[in-house]
Amino acid sequence: MRAVIQRVNRASVTVENEITGSIDRGLCLLIGITHEDTADDLKYIVDKTLNMRIFPDPTGDSGFDESVQDIGGGLLLISQFTLYAATRKGRRPGFTAAARPEMAGPMFEQLVDAFRFSGLRVQTGVFGAMMNVEIENAGPVTIILDSADRNAPRKG
């Protein structure tokens, strides 16, 4: 599972000219699911995202002291199969590594439920729909999180 995490001042998602989700200060997550993902991948993404210290402390002296939970921020979750695009060959990306909708849809809903369990405000797009996402990236801060990396040894 991959997540592109963006620290935002505000973010919203629109489907067919209707806003389906919006948040103020918090995180916008673009989520890609592959056919190899399990509950462990989901848990890793949720735990890491909720506890990652990427917000400034209240004095503003440091940029990376508090988590989205610490600040009571919102979460906007957007499914995005294109995070698993293969671009090595040719000019058109391939998406065979992305999970099929019949697997990815339920897993995305499980992910949404896991984030809601945190008690934070969670908003979403519409799975499989053409969406327009608007963000005001704060910093800018953008972090890529890949659950496959959790088992990789640290470089030292």
Instruction: Give me the domain span that covers residue 94.
Output: 2-146
**Is 130 within 8 Å of 117 (Cβ atoms)?**
no
Catalytic residues: 80-82
Residue 152 in any domain: the answer is: no
Is 119 a domain residue?
A: yes
The structural domain count of the chain equals: 1
Minimum mean pLDDT range among 27-31, 45-49, 55-59, 109-113: 55-59
pLDDT of residue 22: 98
Give the pLDDT band of residue 35 (cuts 50, 70, 90): very high
Give a yes or no: residue 153 inside a domain.
Answer: no
Q: Is residue 151 part of a domain?
A: no
Identify whether 65 is part of a domain: yes
Q: Smallest Cα–Cα separation from 73: which of 16, 32, 39, 122? A: 122
pTM of the shown model: 0.94
* Distance of alpha carbon 96 from alpha carbon 58, whole angstroms: 44
